[in-house]
Amino acid sequence: MNIGIIGSGHIGGTLARLFSARGHAVLLANSRGPESLREMVAELGPGVRAVTPQEAAREAEVVVEAIPFGRLTELPREDLSGKILVTAANYYPERDGEIDLGGLSEAEYTARLLPGVRVVKAFNTIWFRHLAEQGDPGKPQSERRAIFVEADDPGAKAVVSHLIDELGFAPVDGGDLPGSTRFQPGSPLYNRDLTGREAREALATS
């Protein structure tokens, strides 16, 4: 699959490596342009290409955004139309500035910024080092590290859950975008190192 990744830092760079290792074609973008990614894509190997955010959005079937929440308005809205967009971003006011979410969850707010985009929230509650190291396709789902997935579009959620499974994690259905406040910074489930089984138990009682 062609997977676009907008944001080439801790999370975006880690996902580029993992998806490429699974045989996906990765289109990697940042804010400074493809030239600034030359060394990084050379190190990541032939499955990864440096592009602009617009190209990543246009050419990929699934796009991950891993950029600071305060910069989400810079995403290429028109090029993302109709695409599945995985949002890994978390809102930290001290980093991102004061943003009025209007009472919405962070993922709902993101979806409102991007009408016509199939927004899925995932990868936001796992530290990038754990993301790099903890995937293990050899383990049963119940024993793997959990990654929560929320979306309003069941088809998009299924596609992203399959990708998470391929990386050796347990995709755990966290419900819809309005309910995804349960997985935001400060919530009890945020950044918890849980297995698939533990995550489902925690969800049932949260």
Interface ranges with ligand NAP (CB under 6 A): 6-12, 29-32, 53, 66-69, 71, 74, 88-90, 124, 127-128
- Rounded Cα–Cα distance for residues 167 and 152 (Å): 23
- Rounded Cα–Cα distance for residues 115 and 93 (Å): 24
Would you say 124 or 205 has its CB closer to ligand NAP?
124
Output the residue with the shortest Cβ distance to ligand NAP: 9
Residue 30 carries which side chain, given as an amino acid letter? N
- Rounded Cα–Cα distance for residues 60 and 28 (Å): 10
Contact predicate 27/60, CB 8 Å: yes
Nearest distance from C-beta of residue 61 to ligand NAP, angstroms: 19
Would you say 29 or 160 has its CB closer to ligand NAP?
29
Nearest distance from C-beta of residue 112 to ligand NAP, angstroms: 17
The two most distant CA atoms of the chain are separated, in Å, by 48
Residues in Cβ contact with 98 at an 8 Å cutoff, skipping those fewer than 6 apart: none
Nearest distance from C-beta of residue 128 to ligand NAP, angstroms: 4
Report residue 28 as tokens.
């990697």
Would you say 43 or 74 has its CB closer to ligand NAP?
74
Nearest distance from C-beta of residue 7 to ligand NAP, angstroms: 3
